Chain A
């Protein structure tokens, strides 16, 4: 979307204000978590938004998250598991969505609604039997042990999202490109792939965030640092005593855990909207 020829100052002010509001909306609670992580234990309860005596104690200090072996292992687990699950889920979903949209075969509706049904079943009653299954298959407390459920429960959303996208893509464009002299592969790469990219990157973000955020499977299907991810690891933080709630550490851990998300989103957000350009589609 290119701005029109007259982008007056009024427009810029309008958009500027809008953007500031939107960013504030998104980031004020995040800022709150950041300031919480910078507050020393004594000030955590002082009821103010800004830290009066900011400190990096929760990060680098005694009980800080950087010193916590368990947390570092969890961070690594989270990143690896989420990335692999995203990759696999998007690939499988792309195959399926492409087939559903472009090919004619029996059982399409069954697959779509079956997938939806799976996504809708309350996970809390699945973890019991899944736990038993995983123990028997030696998948308990392993990376695949989490990757597989994450794939399973994000495939429906990914398939539905990609189907919605693929349905709107003018597939015959690549035919037109090949008539214009491009090879099939060139046609695919230059015409179809950019059109499919928004859907795929959107699905990738959704799957990644699901895997990143999940708490239920992470606590039930892991036991040690081998596979425990960050949401579960946070529940293992203990405060300075039996009853003290480790506010500072949890805030610091959350900040650290949000950074990869921000990075990923920054990288992906351009791809999400890089799809249709005004020249590609002609009625």
Chain B
């Protein structure tokens, strides 16, 4: 009976393999507006029968995407031809040889005209391993009815919030303080703005210069222990920040651009007063440096058609698709020219609201942006940082510099429990 049942249900197993047009599977999260589907249609057309791309959906959460990809890549899965890789995975995947280096002759096509940081994020040990697809960085969002001049530094922001509190106005400052990657982004941005870095150039040793690290930790602690820290700061991710902003309790919000269209749709009163500025500096008169995020398209090491995959990826990450991704899904382009292109900068949603009024400031931030440490051990490093820094309200700037250094050193050896 068992066998019969299995036989019946086994018809679901294994579709036929047809020889003919090679099918390239693109493992990516299916973004809003079906933009990847449309990109695939366009690129399949352009391929003129040489290959056919098929989207293989991944979970919405980046950690779960990595989980799925790694499990299959480590097993030598030939099904993965192309995949969307978070910028922090490049070193790990490249070192484990799960992705192929980009062919020498195609590197120029993949990198020319693209943001430097984005190209760097797809590079490991001077070899390019992917083509940048989209990028991201945070801005400071504030309300014109509460603040005339956006604060230039974190200390200024705290002072402004103090004043607002005294005046009985909304005064919360929202950042991402949850125990996850977003906290590392906050810390790394502060550290870079203070002039420090987590690892050295090669990514082999801990750097964490004393003074900048202490400054960064002080900012974290000051914001988190102030009366302007929302009660849920220690569990706030990007979406919680958006919700806090739209509820009207917030005066300042550090977050990605997705909050703009959302506020316009869901909280128009607040959106009317919404303005933006660069990520606050740590040192006065020293412009801030934010961490850049985003995704690159990588080629699976075990796929059957690597050369076709490279072609497909180059098409998928081409300018027309980047433009559509920006218009319909809010994914920021990586090609520099697009930041001057009215199709992007003047794009509007159905309600006639401009989608990227902040394009110029965003481009500036991206030009100055930094990356998180590019080491195969990045996952462990990230966990180590998170375990020391969370909750941010409990940070002790003096002691935690050393604790952080020790934890990251251990992480770089891949040892111990985290």
Whether a CB of chain A sits under 8 angstroms from the CB of B10 is yes
Known: A131-B75, A236-B59, A239-B32. A244 touches B239 (CB 8 A): yes
Q: Is A128 an interface residue (CB 8 A)?
A: yes
Across the interface, A138 reaches (CB within 8 A) one of B5, B14, B71, B261, namely B14
Question: What is the minimal beta-carbon distance from B64 to any residue of chain A, in angstroms?
Answer: 6
Q: Which one of A42, A132, A145 contacts B266 once the chains associate, using CB atoms below 8 Å?
A: A42
Asked if A147 CB lies within 8 Å of chain B CBs, one says yes
Q: In the bound complex, what is the Cα–Cα distance between A235 and B64 (angstroms)? A: 9
Q: Are B5 and A45 in contact (CB under 8 A)?
A: no
Q: Write the chain B residue with the least CB distance to A147.
A: B9
Q: What mask results when residues 78 to 106 of chain A are scored 1 for a CB within 8 Å of chain B, else 0?
A: 00100010011001100000000000000
Find the A residue at minimum CB distance from B60.
Answer: A238
A254 part of interface (Cβ distance < 8 Å): no
Which of A27-35, A163-171, A216-224, A255-263 lines the interface with chain B?
A216-224
Interface stretch, picked from B142-150, B241-249, B312-320, B362-370, is B241-249
A244 touches B258 (CB 8 A): yes
User: Does B116 interact with chain A (Cβ within 8 Å)?
Assistant: no
**Given A220-B71, A242-B331, A45-B32 contact (CB < 8 Å):** no
The reply to whether A224 and B56 contact each other, CB–CB distance below 8 Å, is: yes
Distance between Cα atoms of A62 and B365 in the complex (Å): 34
Q: How many A-B residue pairs have CB under 8 A?
A: 103
Give the complex CA separation of A67 and B261 in angstroms.
Answer: 24
- How many chain A residues touch B (CB < 8 A): the figure is 41
A132, B265: Cα distance in complex, Å: 46
Interface residues of B in 324-348 (CB under 8 A from A): 329-331
Interface flag for A243 (CB, 8 Å): yes
Residue of B nearest to A135 (CB): B75
B1 CB–A CB distance under 8 Å: yes
Does chain B have a CB within 8 A of A53? Answer: no
A241–B261 touching, CB < 8 Å: yes
**Minimum CB–CB distance for A101 against chain B, Å:** 22
Contact B32 A144, beta carbon cutoff 8 Å: no
- Given A84-B5, A242-B31, 7 further pairs, Cβ under 8 A: A42-B266, A147-B9, A235-B59, A236-B60, A241-B330, A242-B330, A244-B262
Give A residues with C-beta under 8 Å from B: 41-42, 44-46, 70, 80, 84, 87-88, 91-92, 128, 131-132, 135, 138-139, 142-145, 147, 219-220, 223-224, 226-227, 235-246
Q: Which 8 A-B pairs have the closest CB atoms?
A: A42-B266, A241-B258, A243-B238, A142-B13, A235-B59, A143-B9, A45-B243, A245-B239
| 21 CB-based A-B contacts, threshold 8 Å | A42-B246, A45-B246, A45-B247, A91-B1, A128-B71, A138-B13, A139-B13, A142-B12, A142-B13, A144-B13, A219-B67, A224-B56, A227-B12, A236-B57, A238-B60, A239-B239, A240-B262, A241-B330, A243-B237, A243-B238, A243-B239
